[in-house]
Structure 1
Amino acid sequence: MRPPRFWDAGPDHPAARALAPLAALYGAAAARRMDRPGVRAGCPVLCLGNVTLGGAGKTPAALALAALLRDLGRRPAFLSRGYGGRLPGPVRVDPAAHGAADVGDEPLLLARHGPAVVARDRVAGAALCRDLGADAVVMDDGLQNPGLAKDLSLAVVDAGAGHGNGRVFPAGPLRAPLDRQWPHVAGLVLVGDGAPGEAVARAAARRGLPVHRARLVPDAAAVAGRRCLAFAGIGRPQKFFATLAEAGADLAGTRAFPDHHPYRAADLAALAAEAGRLGAELVTTEKDAVRLPPDFAARVPVLPVRLVFADPEALRAQVSGALASR
């Protein structure tokens, strides 16, 4: 979905106020659901979630967390609902056999780095992870899903977006009232810089939660000096465009699509025609690339990024403590 503009316009915007009664009902139901006890998996479950709708950097965070777990001697597997995919699972993601329409775009990226399972039933998904030899489960999203008991839940927040206008969906981007989500969170991963994110960080610190600051580091060599028409269908396309410019790309134009946008032939023809008129080459994100037809994707460069923590030892200590408590 494409977030409505009033979500960033403050809590007193007329549309936000008009939707407040519906948001109160939605938020109360979501909070009650989060409070339900989950089922224990046979191994530690570490969840990277988002307090709001939209992208925050959960997938790069999941990859970084899995790398940390491997460094600690664990065998992690990724578990995702598979948003946008048709397969209910549980099923192991096979990039050679599955497409984004089958399992969603994020699981395809995760599967390049380790075993990945999609399952709408998270308990069954965790069981399959164990069957595949995993001794730790990294949940990409699922903070609000009560199916599995989590040994560590980290909320991932884009510092440039924070929690928007602070209201619950549909009056704002929050998935549940923030004060009802904090008890389910053990720490905050703050991605990037920005006053909105600093406000969330202060709220987390007041509750005694550690704040793990991180940034997305692009592979500048992939785009530096190249004239590009950039396109993206992610939570915050403008963030990707800014990252491209910082990496040294010559941006001839940008095109934003809704998050998880399924690219159709007409979209691709229009993008190719515009790139030709501008004398530019198309460039996109890794997440968008897996939603493109293979022949088209082969002609479109991507900008790889990785999440780097300011204090990796602090995160390592918290993860180690969660593992030791099992």
Structure 2
Amino acid sequence: MKNIFGLTLEELQESLKPFGVPSYRARQVAEWMYQKGARSFDDMTNLPKNLRATLPETLAIGRPREKDRLDSADGRTTKFLLEFDDGTAVETVLMRQPYGNSICVSTQAGCNMGCAFCASTLHGMARNLSAGEIFSQAIIIEEMLHREGQGKVDTVVIMGSGEPLMNYDNVLAFIRLLHAPYALGMGYRNITLSTSGIVPNMYRLAEEGLPISLSVSLHAPNDALRSRLMPINRKYPLADVVKAARHYAETTKRRVTYEYILIDQLNDGEEQAQELVSLLRGQLASVNLIPINPVVERHLLRPSAARIKWFEQYLLDHHIQVTVRREMGTDIQAACGQLRNKHLKD
């Protein structure tokens, strides 16, 4: 059986060729799968009856099942654990923002980047996700929002479990599918991709001609500290990562966001603030400060509110555009990897 969920229109046309049907049938199938929530060919009432009976003999519409769901007490955040046919489970999160519904999707089951502050890396990486498996996360939430009368998915951030640029081809296929008019038709400017700094693929992404936003997980302003927090820095040092990010901004004319997790007494002092200002001065960039969401196994603590405010003000005073990420879903383990890890332990 061939799973056709996640195929592009052109790929669907190829899959339907053996059935001798007109090429326009592919668009009908795509719209049923991606826009009307069809889970079987029987649902596709504008297909000939004999075709609806024949297609399931060799083709399948494979979608994950909802293994777990957690809703925050304030009703703003919902976290899903989705399980695919092979038993692999991944997390995706819905965040109801003032500007619309935003979702955070995973691109790998687990992660092998080994970042010292992240729950996703605790069990390593199981495998890459296919374009369809990434896209199914968006579709499941889109359908839930529609059922519950809460609108639609307005923005997508690719910063769940996994390193997107280590699953480059599938992630790019997902982005293009997300944009396709027969799927969700989302504007590229509503999509943000986050990377820990896979330098060759940052340059590759800049040449794709897609005006998506890029976020770079920085988390430290010097190589020694960044290598301690993020082992990938030993392969792609800080200067190379920042150079690639600058190239992305210059090529796409899109502001790069540098993500900076604030960890008490580790990277939140005046010395680190000064280094960060020196590193980013003059760039088309902003900093997103993220007070750490503590992971029990990591033994890293959140700075005090006063210390977070001081760090923010120091950057502002030195003309660095900065925001502090608003916490959402703390009560439902919304940090990457925490819900999946709970199930792996059970």
The question of a shared fold, defined as TM-score above 0.5 by the shorter chain, is answered with no
1 or 2 for the larger relative contact order (CA 8 Å, sep ≥6)? Answer: 1
TM-score where L is the length of structure 2: 0.28
TM-score where L is the length of structure 1: 0.29
Return the index of the structure with the highest Cα Rg: 2
